[in-house]
Amino acid sequence: MSTISRKHMLSWGLGSLGVAILFNTQNVLLTRFMTDEMGIAAGTAGFLLLVTKLYDAITDPLMGFITDHTESRWGRRRPWIFIGGVGAACSFIYLFNAPTSIGPIIGIFIGLIAYSTFYTMFNVPYLSMPAEMSNIPSERTTLMSWRVRAIGLGQLIGSALAPVMVFWLGGGLSGHGFMALILGVLAMISIALCAMGTAGARQTAPQEKQKLLTWSAVQLIFENRPFLFLLLTKFLQLTATAVSLASTAYFFQHWLGKGFDVLGIYFAIGSVVIIMVQPFWIRMVKRYPKSEIYKVAAIGYALVSFSWYFTDADSGMIDIAIRGIVSGVSSGGLLLMGQAMLPDTIHYDYLRTGLRREGIFAGLYTTAEKISFAIGGAMAGLLLQFFGYRSSVSGVEVTQSDETIFGIFILSAVIPALLMLLSCVSLNYYRLKESDLAEE
């Protein structure tokens, strides 16, 4: 019997739709916006992303502690989801409309710090909720599939529609600015609906006077081996994703010779497929361990990445579309399996210790996410500069060397594929089974 209503599943998933719009738009367009519209050097852009992501990462465990100890009429999580989500949307709008009067670097830095702060307020309590909403592993997997569908739709909007919107709106600073305003408001509405719609969902409370951050409690976290190996796996997977997202726009422009319209179509295909394949991956979970399914999806992702070597400026939409489809199938599995294992490891901690620490575990998990995107984003910017990428200001075209273009291929295809394969190695040591999660 289901313990989570369809309303709560859908409402919780809407939160992922909002942040996925913000997240994917930034990862696809922001680095290029900084280098090609605001004239910021690629290395400087990478450094800004690194510093603000590291700041973001160190605040996650603190937010986990705060949300675990929050008491309000709206529960421990929902107030932070609303405040953080709305604040992140406003900061996103600011980023693509940063005032030039204070200098492009300072303007972007302020926006990144604000976005990071509000995103942490949202994401940590949000990811704490699945382990609270149900004790049934298969039901949590179904809940996570709604999140993956929302992420797919958010990716469709943020990765596919956003570049096309910039094109439709005339490009340049104004095109990016209007795009951010429209998508920021859309994300804000989605997050507000999530906070309101999850009212009444099952939630837990810490035991009276429960000490969550004593040294002995911290030791218990490090004894949760499935969680630690999941963290390492997610770190490698998301670093691969961050590098790929930050460099794909450059790859399409300089390797394939395609514009934002084709880039948008490619992401649209992948996003739609991510949504469509969720029933298939859910059926696979009923037959095989999540960790083994993850490995299959990761290998598929890597093979698609390597295959870009056989494309060039003469490649047509069929070549690009086929890769978009296979990438979408693989990404759908990676997203679902990686996220479905998190509430399993949190529930495992409760069964071992009797402690209700969903927020702390979600905070540590998001710390790994932020560090991976900090390193991935910085790696993209720094390697672009290493390969000799020449920045420009809006409206000024610059020709890149052949060595730089090949470096963009290495950055966009080879490095993400290798990191994704490495993530499978750490998952060999994740041996948590659903039978280990049965409550007495």
Find the mean pLDDT for residues 322-328: 94
pLDDT of residue 143: 87
Considering its fold, how many domains does the chain have in total? Answer: 1
Find the mean pLDDT for residues 62-91: 88
Q: Which domain holds residue 181?
A: 6-197+212-437
More confident residue, 395 or 57: 57
Confidence of residue 50 (pLDDT cuts 50, 70, 90): confident
Residue 12 domain-assigned (yes or no): yes
User: Measured in whole angstroms, how far is the alpha carbon of residue 105 from the centre of its chain?
Assistant: 24
CA distances from 176 to 62, 151, 169, 342, 412 (A): 34, 22, 8, 35, 23
Give the 3-state DSSP-derived string for the chain, with helices as H, strands as E and coil as C.
Answer: CCCCCHHHHHHHHHHHHHHHHHHHHHHHHHHHHHHHCECCCHHHHHHHHHHHHHHHHHHHHHHHHHHHHCCCCCCCCHHHHHHHHHHHHHHHHHHCCCCHHHCHHHHHHHHHHHHHHHHHHHHHHHHHHHHHHCCCHHHHHHHHHHHHHHHHHHHHHHHHHHHHHHHHCCCHHHHHHHHHHHHHHHHHHHHHHHHHHCCCCCCCCCCCCCCCCCHHHHHHHHCCHHHHHHHHHHHHHHHHHHHHHHHHHHHHHHCCCCCHHHHHHHHHHHHHHHHHCHHHHHHHHCCCCHHHHHHHHHHHHHHHHHHHHHCCCCCCHHHHHHHHHHHHHHHHHHHHHHHHHHHHHHHHHHHHHCCCCHHHHHHHHHHHHHHHHHHHHHHHHHHHHHCCCCCCECCCCCCCCHHHHHHHHHHHHHHHHHHHHHHHHHHCCCCCCHHHHCCC
Confidence of residue 438 (pLDDT cuts 50, 70, 90): low
Residue 129 has pLDDT above 90, yes or no: no
- Angle at CA of residue 318, ends 315 and 320, nearest 5°: 65
Find the mean pLDDT for residues 409-415: 92
pLDDT of residue 379: 83
pLDDT of residue 88: 95
Query: What are 139's strand-pairing partners?
Result: none
pLDDT 10s digits, 132-160: 888 888 888 888 888 888 888 888 898 77
Distant-in-sequence, close-in-space partners of 125: CB < 8 Å, separation ≥ 6? 63, 67, 76, 77, 78, 80, 81, 84, 359, 362
332 residue type, one letter: G
As a whole number of angstroms, the distance between CA 330 and CA 127 comes to 23
pLDDT of residue 59: 83
pLDDT 10s digits, 342-355: 888 888 888 887 77
Find the mean pLDDT for residues 359-382: 80
**Both tokens of residue 11?**
């409402």
Would you say 340 and 139 are in contact if contact means Cβ atoms under 8 Å apart? no
More confident residue, 97 or 27: 97
Would you say 412 and 308 are in contact if contact means Cβ atoms under 8 Å apart? yes
Find the mean pLDDT for residues 401-412: 90
More confident residue, 260 or 422: 422
Residue 227 has pLDDT above 50, yes or no: yes
Residue 202 domain-assigned (yes or no): no
Would you say 281 and 317 are in contact if contact means Cβ atoms under 8 Å apart? no
Find the mean pLDDT for residues 78-92: 94
Q: Of the segments 219-223, 231-235, 260-264, which one has the largest average pLDDT value?
A: 231-235
Average pLDDT, the chain: 86
More confident residue, 272 or 60: 272
Confidence of residue 440 (pLDDT cuts 50, 70, 90): very low
Would you say 358 and 131 are in contact if contact means Cβ atoms under 8 Å apart? yes
Residue 16 domain-assigned (yes or no): yes
- Domain holding 69: CATH number? 1.20.1250.20
pTM: 0.73
Looking up tokens 């290798």, which residue turns up?
418
Would you say 120 and 373 are in contact if contact means Cβ atoms under 8 Å apart? no
Residue 207 domain-assigned (yes or no): no
Residue 218 has pLDDT above 90, yes or no: no
Distant-in-sequence, close-in-space partners of 412: CB < 8 Å, separation ≥ 6? 243, 244, 247, 248, 250, 251, 255, 308
pLDDT 10s digits, 90-121: 999 999 998 878 888 999 999 999 999 999 99
Residue 400 domain-assigned (yes or no): yes
Helix axes of 317-353 and 290-307: crossing angle, nearest 10 degrees? 150
User: Measured in whole angstroms, how far is the alpha carbon of residue 79 from the centre of its chain?
Assistant: 22
Residue 94 domain-assigned (yes or no): yes
Rg (CA), the chain: 21
Residue 409 has pLDDT above 60, yes or no: yes
pLDDT 10s digits, 238-254: 899 889 888 888 899 88
pLDDT 10s digits, 161-188: 888 898 889 888 899 999 999 999 999 9
